[in-house]
Amino acid sequence: MRIALCPGSFDPITLGHLDIIERAVRLYDKVIVGVVENPNKSHLFSTEERVEMVTTSLVGMEKVEVSSFNGLLVEFAREHQVRVIIKGLRAISDFEHEFQMAHLNKKLASELETVFMMASPEYMFLSSSAVKEIALFGGSVAGLVPDNICFSLKNKLNKP
């Protein structure tokens, strides 16, 4: 079975993330969406909230499993028999960081491959940080995130 891992903080999940996950599902037998617990990074949503939002956003999508993890990505991958890490790229600046991480992961776990998927043109500008900033200032994030995330952001930020 070909199992791929799409890791990320998903704070919150965007339509760009969903696009990458949907495309990965077409290529692999199973896709694990790994919600990263990073105590060194401040998140708007808790790990539990992010897992719930991702799970709700993926309802009806077959061959997908959502799980949170902390620690080394390569250890999580080994525990779940993952052989491929999927990373979405929006710009060359994303590539620089992800290129280094791919080589580091390969050094730690030679059996792992990293597959880079280019963002679809309509999502090249989209990031969770931008979504949070728009929502924080009362702007509409419709068309940038799934509908359930619009609701979650409004509730979290106490915006009408």
Please report where in the chains the tokens 């919150």 appear, as a residue: 12
Whether the per-residue pLDDT at 160 is higher than 60: the answer is no
Instruction: Let me know if residue 145 belongs to a domain.
Output: no
Nearest to 69 by CA among 43, 40, 45, 33: 33
Domain count, the chain: 1
Mind listing the pLDDT tens digit for each residue in 26-73?
Answer: 999 999 999 999 888 889 999 999 999 999 999 999 999 999 999 999
The answer to whether residue 106 sits within a structural domain is yes
Structure confidence at residue 93 (pLDDT)? 83
Q: How far apart are CA 53 and CA 45, in angstroms?
A: 10
Catalytic residues: 17, 41, 90, 128
Per the domain annotation, does 11 fall within a domain? yes
Separation between Cα atoms, residue 59 and residue 64, nearest integer Å: 9
pLDDT for residue 127 is more than 90: yes
Look up the domain containing 57 and give its range: 3-124
Decide if 154 is inside a domain. Answer: no
Angle at the Cα of 104 (from 103 to 109), degrees rounded to 5?
95
Mean pLDDT to the nearest integer, 109-116? 97
Q: Report yes or no on 150 lying in a domain.
A: no
Q: Is residue 12 reached through a cis peptide bond, with omega within 30 degrees of 0 on the bond before it?
A: yes
What CATH number does the domain containing 37 carry?
3.40.50.620
Q: What is the pLDDT of residue 133?
A: 94
User: Is 61 among the domain residues?
Assistant: yes
Please report whether residue 67 resides in a domain: yes
